[in-house]
Each structure stands twice: as C-alpha cells, then as structure tokens.
Chains A and B, each alone.
Chain A
Amino acid sequence: MQRYSIFSIARNALTNHKNWHTAWRSPEPKPAYDVVVVGAGGHGLGTAYYLAKEHGITNVAVLEKGWLGGGNTGRNTTIIRSNYLYDESAKLYDHSVKLWEGLTGELNYNVMFSPRGVMMLAHNVHDVQVFKRHVYANRLNGVDNEWLTAEQAKAFCPPLSIDPGARYPVVGAALQRRGGTARHDAVAWGYARGADARGVDVIQNCEVTGIDVEGGRVTGVQTTRGAIRAKKVAIVAAGHTSVLCTMAGFRMPLESVPLQALVSEPMKPVFPCVVMSNAVHAYLSQSDKGELVIGAGTDQYVSYSQRGGVQILEHTLEAILELFPIFSRCRMLRQWGGIVDVTPDRSPIIGRTPVENLFVNCGWGTGGFKATPGSAHVFAHTVAKGEPHPINAPYTLDRFKTGRLIDEAAAAAVAH
C-alpha cells in the first residue's frame, strides 16, 4: 500500500499527480472465498479489514450492489458518541470511540475524527431525569459524560438559544467531550483501501440475489455477476438485511424505515460542536466544509424508498430554528434519505443466525455510523472464530426470544 503523507503529496506534485496508485482495485469475483461479506458500507468494509488484519483471513470478498459507501455510510450525519445507558451499550460504543481515536493512523487515511463534543439538550424535568441517569451510569462505566447548566451549555455552543421564554427552553445538557464527528466517506474509503491492500476483493455493482444453504449450512451466494461459493457469509446490509435473510430462509426482527438528513449552504465556522435534542427532534453540527448538517427523525411508515416525507424534514427545521433562531435565513442546499433497519429494542444484532456459518450485523437503526470501527472489529472476531467477542456476546438474535433486551429506546423513556 502506498503510504500517504505530506511528503507523498509533494513527491506526486512533481509528476503532476499522475502517478498515484489506485486506492483499491476493481477485481472480478473469484469462484470461491473463505468469507463473503455482503454490503460494502463502513461496517462491511471494516469487517473485511479486521478479518484480514487481525485474523489473517484474506481470501475475502465484499460484495456491494451499488458503489462502496453509498448506503447509510455515505448518508448519515456522522455523529460519534458512546454515552449510552446500559453496560452492554457503553462497552460496545466506547470500544468504537477508542478505535475512532486511532483510526486515521491505523488506516493511514485521514478520517477526520473530530472530538468536538456532543451535547444533548434537556428541555424539561423528565429530560433532566433521563440525562442525569445517563451521566451517573456513564461515569461509573468509565465513559465521559457531564451535566451542564443551561448557561454552561450556551458557553459551550454560543449559537444556542437558552431563552427561558422559548417554547421548550433549555434547562440543562449532558455533554460528552470525547464525542464528535468524522468524515463518513473517508471511513469507507480508508477501510476499502486497507482491506484491498491486504488482498480483500471489494466487488462493486454486484448484487446478491440468493443465498445458498445446504443442510442448514451456508455454501455461497448467487449474484448478478454469477454464483460465488463461500465457507462463511456475513450480511452487513443495513436496511436490506431482512430481504437477504429471507433469501436464506429465516425472518429477522427488523423494520426498515426512511431516515432523512439535509445540509445548508457552506458558511464560515459558526457551530463548534454537535447538539442533539430528543425533545424537539433535531440534531445539528457543522461540517469542515462549512455546511450545517442536520438530521431528521424517521418516517412513521416502513419503506425501502430512500426518500422520506417532506413534513418530517420541515418539522426538523422548525426544531432547529427553535433552538437556533439565527439560522432562519440560511438555506437548505440538499436533502436526502437512507433506509435504516430498526430492531424492537433499538440495539443491533451482531452474531450467528439459524443458518450455520451465516452471520449478521444489523439493526443499527439511526445510530450505526458511530459504531463503525467497533462493530466491524467485534464482528470480524465473530466471523473468524464462529463465536462472539465478549463485547458483542449480548447482541444475539436470540434475545428477542429470551427477552434479555438492551432497550436503549426505552432507556430514553418518554414524557409522562
């Protein structure tokens, strides 16, 4: 792999940038692989990367029906944090944040991880109870999260309105300083490049149309580019996981719904951190390019259409202007949608399936980007060893039968 650095740029400048190596190949599929990963988003590419790097399994293909990183990896609002309530979640997401902290060096690719702080706003007594519960639990789990007064929140994020006369005034906030954002495309590209350099075939424009199962054991996949045999198959296909699992003959407890986002026109730095508000349904940060990056809520109806309802987006902007009235005259530059796969307890499923040697990593709902490195890391372990890493051991498909849920949605509770 060609090392990237300021020196390599300078060297290549002398040859007018015509001699860069390819970041990844565009190989033809081989007839068989040790592992076929379905889905070349960040989680899938990362899985292949760690399979090769940590487990020495390099005869791996990542199959992607479109272009790598073109699903939710390239469509999300790039928020990274680990201040989840339950022990299982804190372990998983904090594992991920720790990997984020070193990912640029790990991949020799600048993923622009920017720990600028993620602040969650409390607007009423109930929010205070919920966020304080998080703060208390996080601290005892060794995850940073601190409670701020409204004035401290304003100091941390000057554009924030803490007008007590607001419809839902800010009464406090929980801040995770190690949280932040990263450059989503770079994550996919960095993993793709790293995996490719270790011999992994990243095969784009290759849609899986069938999963071959013999005697309860997976043997390969059918694709638009022919049949591919595989000793193990790992499905990491977000909103389309349920479709793929149906091909393998079992149902998943997943619902797929559109989730939308939008950006403003680029502006000079005005917004220093990430702000989330569950009560008014909005989250906001500013990209390095200067665009305000705004996430909306999910549609109320299930769909595979990568476009949601207009009213959802408008409601999000209402909430944004409620918190940040100074942005009223800014303009929406583009809007888009992705399909998120949601489990009943809003926590992911990472592990084995009823079909032997077929593994899934799915159900990340609206929050999968932040988990990319951690998820990929433990999933690679699971696929390589055939059994889960201790961190993802609780995230079984089985838990919906036993009732041992990790209910982060419930933990956020609802107003009484």
Chain B
Amino acid sequence: MSQSCRTPEGGRVDRAKPIRFTFDGKSYQGCVGDTLASALLANGVHLVGRSFKYHRPRGIVAAGSEEPNALVQVEMGGGRSDPNTRATVVELFDGLNAESQNRNPSLERDVGAVNDALSPLFPAGFYYKTFKWPASAWHKVYEPRIREAAGLGKAPTEGDPDRYLHRHVHCEVLVVGAGPAGLAAALAAGRSGARVILVDENPELGGSLLMESGTLGRVEPGNLAFARRAAADLAAMPEVRVLTRTTLTGYYDYNYLTALERVTDHLPPGSGPDLPRQRLWRIRARRVVIATGAIERPLVFVGNDRPGVMLASAGRAYLNRWGVLPGRDVLVFTNNDSAYAAAIDLARAGAKVTLADVRPHAGALASEAEAAGVALRPRTVVVDTDGRLRVQRAYLSEIDGEGRIVGALGQPLPCDCLLMSGGWNPNVSLHSQARGLLVFDDSLAAFVPGEAPQPNVSVGACNGDLSFKGALEGGAEAGRLAAGAEAKPGEAFGANEPEAAPLLPLWLVPSDREGLRAKAFVDFQNDVTAKDLGVALTEGLRSIEHIKRFTTTGMGTDQGKTSNVNALAIVAAKLNTSVPAVGTTTFRQPYVPATFGAMVGHSKGPLFDVVRKTPIHDWAEAEGAVFEDVGTWKRAWYFPKAGEDMHAAVRRECKAVRETCGLFDASTLGKIDVQGPDARAFLNRIYTNAWMKLPVGQCRYGLMLRDDGMVMDDGVTACLKDDRFHMTTTTGGAPRVLAWLEEWLQTEWPDLKVYCTSVTEEWATMALNGPNAREVLAPLVEGIDMDADAFPHMHWRSGKVAGVPARIFRISFTGETGFEVNVPAGYGRHVWGAIWASGQKHGIVAYGTETMHVLRAEKGYVIVGQDTDGTVTPHDLGMSWIVKKQGDFVGRRGLERPDLKRDDRKQLVGLLTEDPDLVLDEGAQIVADPSEPVPMTMIGHVTSSYDSPDLGRSFALALVAGGKTRKGQTLHVPQLDGSVAAVSVVDPVFLDPEGKRLHG
C-alpha cells in the first residue's frame, strides 16, 4: 500500500475509496475523507513548503484553518489557480493537483535557503537600515529582488471561471462552531422553536470531538455518537439551518456577520451540480453564541520549525480523525496535560513515544500514559533539533524549578515526529471583532472573553472552559438563553474527565544554543524568532503594535492564530511585565482569508453596475449607434452610416438639425416630480431665480448652486399645477440632485410640505429639433394647438402624440425650434417610431450626444460638469440674469464672499483658433505669454471644443481669468507636442445670438 503511514483501521476516511492526487508533480494516493495535509502525511510527506524570509523547509503544523506553514498552490487549470491555500483545509478529491510555493527550483533544493545561511544579516527590520545607497538603487536594484524573494504563491493569470453568490438571512440565534458547546447550544435553541443558524468550518459536525479516539479518559465512549445524534436532531428541526464548510469570517456592528461557505471546493471542478463555488452569507442575528473552541499553542524552542514538528492536538487529529500515523518515533513536548492524550493514542497505535514535560508532575493521565508504554521525562525540555528536511533528532535537557537547564546538556533522542503543546488559546477572535474586551486568565495563561458590547456570548473552550462537561452544559444554557427560552438545569451529560494538573507557562524554552543561527520561532510563516522580538525591544520599541509591525509577527496569512500570545508573553517576560500589560493587537476581519470573488458575488461584468438603457436603446443599436457611458446610462453618442467615422457622422447630424430636423433621445435626463403645498416655495429656495409666479403651463430654466455658491446642476422645470412641478436635471446629476433636495427638506426645512419622487425612468423623452420640427410633429398630435403663437417657446402642453398621452415641452438645447415629447416609458419606442416615420419626408436624422454637444456649444449653452467644475458661479458663466436680486436661495451667502465677486475670476468665453482646422483638446490650458518658462502662469482652460459645420471651422468654449474683458485678445494654448496654438477670445455665442431660430 502506497500510503505507508496510514493506519490499518480507525479514523473517518474511507479506505475502500482510494483516490489519486498530485503534489509537486508526483502522484500519490489518498482516501475519501482526507484533507490534502492528511493525505500527504499518510504518504509520509512532511516537507510541504518553504518559509517566507529564510526559505527554511517547513511541514504541517496544525490540522485546521490556523495552519501557518502548509500553504500550497492548488492548480486545477482553466483559470482555477489558488495560491496560499492551507493544505489542512483542502478536502481531497480525485485529480487534485497542488504545488509547493516559494521555492526555486524545488522544495528539497531551494536557492533561497541561502537567506538562512546569511540570517545573521537579516535581523528584524534589517531592510529599514540598509539598501539606502545610492538613492535610486532602492527602486531599481534592491526592491525588485526583495519583491521577488517575498510573496508566497503566484497570482492567477486567467479570469475566474467560477460563480459566487450572496445570501442574506436573519435569525434569532446564530451559533458559530459545531463542537460540543456549539452543538449543545444549537440543540437547545432549536428545541425552543427559534430560527437558528449553525455554522462550522468542517465538512461534518463535531468539532474537537472528531479527533477524539473515544477510548480514553477525556471523553467517554459514545460522545462522538453525541455529535452524530445532534446532527440528526438538528436536521429534523425545520427552523434550524446547518451550514457546514462555512467559516464565520466577519463580525460587524449591530450583530451583522458574514460567513463564507465553500460550496463546491471539495469537488473536482465541473463534476458536481451547477452550484456556485462559494457563497457569502450575510447574517443579521438577534443573538450570537460563539463556540469556536481553542487553538493549541506551539512551544517556542530552538529548532521548533522543522518538518515533523507539529501541534500535539494536530498529531492526535491526524491519527484519530484521518487514520494517519504522523511518526513512528514520536517525541511529545508539553507543559500541560492535554498532550498526554496524543501520546497515549499514538503509543496505542504502535508508535514509540517519549513525552517530555516541563513540569515535575502531570495529572491523572500520567499513569495511563505509562501503562500505554509512553516513556515519561518530567522536568525536561527540548533545547534543539536536527534534520534538514524532516526532524531526525531532538536534544533534551532537564530543568530545575526556576526553568534553568541543569545537568547534562542536550541529550540526543532520535525522533521522526515532534508533537508540542504550550497550552491552549481560547479562540476569542470573533468576540474581539465584535469589540468585546479581553481579560487574561492566569490559570490558562491565555486571554479569555471579557465584557461583550454586542448581544453575544462565548461558550466552551473559546470562553476558557476546556472541559467537555462545561462545553455541553454551558452551550445548552447559552442556546436556551439566546433563544429567549427559560434557563433550566441542563441535562446531565456523561463526562468522566480525569483530574488535570495545572499548566506551567514556559514561553521561551531555555536553550544552550545561543549562537548566531539558533532560531526559536514564534511566527512560523513570517520567520519571526524570539530573538527578533528581542531586537525590537533593544531598539526601544515598546508598543506591541510597533513590535508586530517591526518584526512582522502575526502578520502572515494565519494572522498569528498560533503565534500571537506566545509573542506577547515573550515580550512581557523580556520587559519584566505581565502579558495583559503588553496588551493585544487588534483582531481584524476576516477570520480566515476570504476570496475576493465571493465578496463580490454576482456583481461583476454586466451586473457590476447595472447598465441603464432607455426605451429607445434597441432602436439606436439597430441603427448602428455608437454608445457612450454617462453615469450608469448608455447614451447614443453618434449614428455612423456605412463608411462614416465619428467626425463625418457628427457633421451630417449637425447639418440636418440646423437645416431640417433631428430626433434625440433625451430619456436619460433626470426627472423629479416635486409636489406639495410648498413646492413652489421650495423651488424658489433651491434655484437661483424666481419661481413664485411661474404660471401653470409654462417652463423655466433653473440653476442650482451648492451652499458655497458654485453651480451644481441645471435643467428646465415645468409647472404642472400650482402645487406640482416636473423638474429635470442633468443625466449624471439626477441621483445627487434628489439626495440634495431631500437633505434640505429633511434636515433644514422639515416645515415645508414637499414630496420629491424620481420619475426619470417613468418617461421616454424625445427631443425633436430643427426648422421642420413642427411640421414633423404636428400631424401626430391630438388636443394641442401647435401653432407657434398658441404654443410658444418655454411652454408645455398636455395631449396625445401618436395616440399616446403625452406632455410636450417646447424647449430647446440646440437653438432651433424644439419640442421635447414625454410619454410613458412603455410607449417610448412606439412614439419614437411614429415621429421617425413622420419625419422621413423631411429628411429627419437621429442624432447622438456628440452632435447635441456641438449644437449647444455653438449657442454658448453650458453643460454643467463640462463647462463648469464646481468652482464656477453663475456670474462666471455670464448668467447674472438668473440670480434674483431679492430673496434667499441656496448659495446666496456663498456668492457674497469676496473671492466670488472678484472681477478677475475665470469667466466663460468663446475661443477661435488661428488655425481653423485645429480642434483644441478639452482640458488644454491657456496662457497669455507663451514664452514664459515653466512653471507658466495659466489663466484658463478649454472646456468644450468642436469642429462646427455651420461655422465652417473649429471653435471652443473656455474659462479664462477676467475673460469678460479680454474679448479680442490673442491668447495661447501650449500643446502636448510642444507647439503653441494662438487663439482669439470671442463671445461664447457663435450662432443666432438674437435667438430667432428658437421661436420659429
């Protein structure tokens, strides 16, 4: 059998179902139920990666998501490439292909390992002290090499073929973790009838029970069966939702939490049903029961990072849960009782086991261990290890009651696996993310949850109660309370737990190996040693945040799950203070790294920012229109005929509008229905001009200012009734304007009775412009006298167009006679078609936004956001006429400030280039003296610039300092190619300054 380290029986893998997988190009066999880590260990593979900084050979340390070392790149092809994946959480499937990371050329022989040899030159923070000379060499020489050496996995090079989804759910009780405490809580809450969600990282429920052998002291036989019974009971409760393979990633304010479910990651790609790869659950919970267990601490001793050195609980889990013997010659090194269970189980499974305990006496398990054949070595520590690619030997020394080495130094003991246990850290991450306080528990030598500001409770091991009985009883009570049920004495659970002896904290194992290269690792992934922490302290750093950032401890992909408390305690010891006095760094979301794609869900591609299309869009598309993005809209930009480029199309469209008529889709303009008894007064305050006397049936152009007096938006508003107005805004400004109106109404003028409703998408708006506009439209109109005198400019009428109820606004943004036909959006396409048909004999054209821009610029009509930029007043635009003399409005006080009244402000002018064929870049800067050296004095910039078929030349609008007084002056526009274009300043109205065409 190829799985040389697989036990003949036991564990939760299916030996009858062998599957193939590949690691670093070599094919192996594993079993259904394996993780990649357990399958590699079953094949005797401990070496799985290289460390971040020193490129030291590294193995598997843990058995869960806290794994610091065993990061691999899962490469399934077709864009499915996942760097930095923890081998301990990858469920094995047939054909899985993984590669090791951060090595060149191979795991066994990695040139980066030279860093290890040179490590005396790479103390913590070395890069702040060197690579400084010469100045340009950092970016050009040193940094690229450092970047190349850093990083771990490789980013994917192709798009992601998989799908991700979001679910939004509410519940009364959310239980996090399905170990004994979480199961008891979920059962109790579920029995009360509450809506309960139970989430757990693992594929099956049970948590720590899954690694129990069921055959020794800590847990009675049958307690794994408890997990199975609980799972069945929960499945039968209709209000309980159980999510396995789901990690609670974020705990935010107001009991809002996110959980990441790995839906199909455990299946070969493309083999399962059509399901998303991952699902992000967004959960709003009334109460949260945190039952996330505890994470075992490594011991910090010299040589503690060799492949084959792992957490005692992990060694036990690999044996009991996955049927893997992690070594045949096992040394267990502990400062507490929990590791005895691992020693006993491994000895019973046939391994030769020695147990070194830093304490003089252990608890009741000691005699059971001896009976199982474990050689006990009290008051003994590991001072060093050997073995290049896997641990081969440990060196043991005895210590006295003060923790000092006594007697013979470093007695060698051969071993192929070293299991360590430095005690347990309650997993307080979620409690802390929820902004709960932490308190230090001396008996556990660990932080436990303190006060919780949000409605949650921690139970079981994550609350510092490591007993099975406590987990079950505490969990059940918490579940009942969280569900709002009455607390009553819990059912008696069978738990006959052996008496434990207290843990003896030994944060930094003493060693005689004080040489330059002796390394006792605190953070495995980032290669932070106890000595590095010492360097930080030597340099005067005291805040744990500084020490963290300077040494990078706890900053790896595991975020210090196994290392942080050790680091704090070592710092505390070196500073001769207490661990709580050093404090903790912040626990940040997410609990485990979360896939970007899952956080984005379906909001990508066309759904990233949903495209808004007008009712006329399909027609325009069929006509070959080219579209531009304006806000979230797609607007028809121009309508090229065969062989036409943009320039030619726009020239043709412009000519047609001036000579006969053109039809323009204006549906994207923002439309806001403003009504209520105070609507008129409201408009009078929001716009700069007067609105109190606008009669029903008329329209008025309005300019809206921000409170600083700068132009914010504009549009035509029609008086529908005395208390009802139809406001239009710019396309991109519509949401901003509505929010602006609401802000004033809700926060400043709550006394006004006004209601604003966005009706942008209720209406299709078609602008028909040109000398023949009336002739085209009139035959389609019922109920409106279309005569120029009966229906003058800046009026609106209600009637029917092409049989459809319509509002027609006689307004124009081209300078031609214009009608804007508004019909309910659903009729838009019909009415457009009717106008189009009616216009055929007049040579009607459809025109896009570019032509609209040219036509309005010829008339000197500004576009807010193009000819203005938030620093422009109405006076700057030459629109003082629109600012009322009497009465207040938003922006009046801003306009009164001295700087806004200066004569030399930038003002709107027209520009004509000396070369009539030169179309200036919009955004080009204007200078008075082209020979001035850089930095030059810029006096303005081009805001709009086009070629005009009517003018037979190019023209531009610009904002120029003191522009009103510069008419006739020659100014200069330096070009990007170094040349300079001369321009003359003219009036910004290039066509029909008297406005005769409007009234035709």
Please list the residues of chain A having a beta carbon within 8 angstroms of any beta carbon in chain B.
Answer: 4-6, 8-10, 12-13, 16-26, 66-70, 74, 87, 90, 101-102, 104-105, 108-110, 112-116, 123-126, 128-137, 139-142, 147, 159, 166-168, 180, 183, 185-186, 189-190, 204, 264-271, 280, 286, 288-290, 305, 307, 310, 313-314, 317-322, 325-336, 344, 399, 401-405, 407, 409-411, 413-416
B923 / chain A contacts, CB cutoff of 8 Å: 128-136
Contact A13 B732, CB 8 Å, known A139-B976, A332-B590: no
A142 / chain B contacts, CB cutoff of 8 Å: 934-935
Contact A411 B731, CB 8 Å, known A5-B132, A322-B608: no
B138 & A113 in contact (Cβ 8 Å cutoff): yes
Nearest CB in chain B: distance from A336 CB, A = 6
A334 & B600 in contact (Cβ 8 Å cutoff): no
19 residue pairs of the A-B complex, CB under 8 angstroms, read A6-B130, A18-B534, A23-B540, A68-B543, A105-B132, A114-B139, A123-B629, A134-B923, A167-B605, A204-B542, A267-B152, A286-B147, A318-B604, A319-B608, A328-B595, A328-B596, A333-B593, A404-B899, A416-B730
CA of A108 to CA of B631, assembled, Å: 48
CA of A109 to CA of B52, assembled, Å: 23
Choice from A126, A147, A167 contacting B609 with Cβ under 8 Å: A167
A20 & B539 in contact (Cβ 8 Å cutoff): yes
Nearest CB in chain A: distance from B74 CB, A = 10
A110 & B127 in contact (Cβ 8 Å cutoff): yes
Please list the residues of chain B having a beta carbon within 8 angstroms of any beta carbon in chain A.
Answer: 52, 80-84, 120-121, 123, 126-133, 135, 138-139, 143-144, 146-148, 150-160, 162, 250, 252-253, 256, 258, 282, 514, 516, 531, 534-535, 538-543, 545-546, 549-550, 552, 557, 559, 586, 588-590, 593-597, 599-601, 603-606, 608-609, 611, 628-631, 708-710, 730-733, 736, 863-866, 869-871, 894, 897-900, 921-925, 927, 934-936, 938, 941, 943, 974, 976
Nearest CB in chain B: distance from A213 CB, A = 28
Contact A328 B976, CB 8 Å, known A129-B922, A137-B925, A266-B84: no
CA of A166 to CA of B608, assembled, Å: 10
Nearest CB in chain A: distance from B460 CB, A = 26
Contact A403 B708, CB 8 Å, known A318-B603, A329-B160: yes
Look across to chain B and name the residue whose beta carbon is closest to the beta carbon of A21: B539
CA of A168 to CA of B511, assembled, Å: 61
B144 / chain A contacts, CB cutoff of 8 Å: 269
A74 & B83 in contact (Cβ 8 Å cutoff): no
Contact A268 B708, CB 8 Å, known A13-B516, A403-B894: no
A132 & B593 in contact (Cβ 8 Å cutoff): no
A17 / chain B contacts, CB cutoff of 8 Å: 120, 123, 531, 534-535, 538
B863 & A104 in contact (Cβ 8 Å cutoff): no
Contact A267 B155, CB 8 Å, known A129-B866, A310-B250: yes
Choice from A9, A321, A332, A403 contacting B899 with Cβ under 8 Å: A403
CA of A180 to CA of B138, assembled, Å: 13
Contact A104 B138, CB 8 Å, known A269-B151, A327-B155: yes
A180 / chain B contacts, CB cutoff of 8 Å: 139
Look across to chain B and name the residue whose beta carbon is closest to the beta carbon of A25: B540
A266 & B934 in contact (Cβ 8 Å cutoff): no
Interface centre among A12, A74, A108 (most CB of B within 10 A): A12
CA of A320 to CA of B155, assembled, Å: 14
A403 / chain B contacts, CB cutoff of 8 Å: 708-709, 894, 897-900
CA of A8 to CA of B425, assembled, Å: 39
Nearest CB in chain B: distance from A238 CB, A = 17
B870 & A409 in contact (Cβ 8 Å cutoff): yes
A332 & B599 in contact (Cβ 8 Å cutoff): yes
B600 & A321 in contact (Cβ 8 Å cutoff): yes
A125 & B597 in contact (Cβ 8 Å cutoff): no
A137 & B938 in contact (Cβ 8 Å cutoff): yes
CA of A113 to CA of B815, assembled, Å: 55
A288 & B123 in contact (Cβ 8 Å cutoff): no
A110 & B132 in contact (Cβ 8 Å cutoff): yes
Choice from A5, A101, A130 contacting B135 with Cβ under 8 Å: A101
Interface centre among B127, B539, B927, B934 (most CB of A within 10 A): B539
Look across to chain A and name the residue whose beta carbon is closest to the beta carbon of B628: A125
Nearest CB in chain A: distance from B120 CB, A = 4
Choice from B52, B150, B538 contacting A20 with Cβ under 8 Å: B538
B925 / chain A contacts, CB cutoff of 8 Å: 133, 136-137, 140
A410 & B922 in contact (Cβ 8 Å cutoff): no
Nearest CB in chain B: distance from A406 CB, A = 9
CA of A314 to CA of B166, assembled, Å: 11
Look across to chain A and name the residue whose beta carbon is closest to the beta carbon of B258: A310
B128 / chain A contacts, CB cutoff of 8 Å: 4, 109-110, 183, 186, 189-190
B921 & A132 in contact (Cβ 8 Å cutoff): yes
Tell me how many residue pairs across A and B have CB atoms closer than 8 Å: 357
Nearest CB in chain A: distance from B776 CB, A = 28
CA of A70 to CA of B535, assembled, Å: 20
Nearest CB in chain A: distance from B751 CB, A = 24
Look across to chain A and name the residue whose beta carbon is closest to the beta carbon of B129: A4
B84 & A328 in contact (Cβ 8 Å cutoff): no
Choice from A141, A267, A271 contacting B83 with Cβ under 8 Å: A267
Choice from B81, B147, B870 contacting A407 with Cβ under 8 Å: B870
A104 & B147 in contact (Cβ 8 Å cutoff): no
CA of A66 to CA of B899, assembled, Å: 41
Choice from B129, B557, B710, B938 contacting A140 with Cβ under 8 Å: B938
A318 & B258 in contact (Cβ 8 Å cutoff): no
CA of A16 to CA of B121, assembled, Å: 10
A87 & B938 in contact (Cβ 8 Å cutoff): yes
Contact A114 B143, CB 8 Å, known A132-B921, A133-B922, A410-B869: yes
Choice from A20, A101, A141, A407 contacting B535 with Cβ under 8 Å: A20
Choice from B596, B609, B869, B941 contacting A331 with Cβ under 8 Å: B596
Choice from B155, B736, B924 contacting A326 with Cβ under 8 Å: B155
CA of A70 to CA of B864, assembled, Å: 42
Given A74-B545, A114-B138, A414-B733, 10 more A-B residue pairs with CB atoms under 8 Å apart are A105-B132, A129-B922, A136-B924, A137-B938, A168-B629, A318-B603, A327-B155, A411-B869, A416-B730, A416-B733
CA of A166 to CA of B710, assembled, Å: 34
Nearest CB in chain B: distance from A176 CB, A = 15
Choice from A25, A185, A204, A288 contacting B143 with Cβ under 8 Å: A288
A105 & B135 in contact (Cβ 8 Å cutoff): yes
Look across to chain A and name the residue whose beta carbon is closest to the beta carbon of B978: A139
Closest 7 CB pairs of A and B: A410-B870, A22-B540, A290-B151, A133-B923, A416-B865, A403-B897, A415-B732
A70 / chain B contacts, CB cutoff of 8 Å: 543, 545
B732 & A414 in contact (Cβ 8 Å cutoff): yes
B139 / chain A contacts, CB cutoff of 8 Å: 113-116, 180
CA of A110 to CA of B128, assembled, Å: 4
B549 / chain A contacts, CB cutoff of 8 Å: 74, 185
A141 / chain B contacts, CB cutoff of 8 Å: 934-936, 938
A325 / chain B contacts, CB cutoff of 8 Å: 159-160, 604
CA of A82 to CA of B132, assembled, Å: 23
CA of A25 to CA of B540, assembled, Å: 7
Nearest CB in chain A: distance from B207 CB, A = 24
Nearest CB in chain B: distance from A198 CB, A = 16
B631 & A415 in contact (Cβ 8 Å cutoff): yes
A139 / chain B contacts, CB cutoff of 8 Å: 934, 974, 976
Nearest CB in chain B: distance from A36 CB, A = 21
CA of A87 to CA of B629, assembled, Å: 31
A23 / chain B contacts, CB cutoff of 8 Å: 539-541
CA of A143 to CA of B864, assembled, Å: 28
A402 & B866 in contact (Cβ 8 Å cutoff): no
CA of A74 to CA of B555, assembled, Å: 14
B870 / chain A contacts, CB cutoff of 8 Å: 407, 409-411, 413-414
CA of A114 to CA of B941, assembled, Å: 33
CA of A10 to CA of B122, assembled, Å: 9
B600 & A318 in contact (Cβ 8 Å cutoff): yes
Look across to chain B and name the residue whose beta carbon is closest to the beta carbon of A24: B540
CA of A90 to CA of B937, assembled, Å: 13
Choice from A137, A401, A416 contacting B731 with Cβ under 8 Å: A416
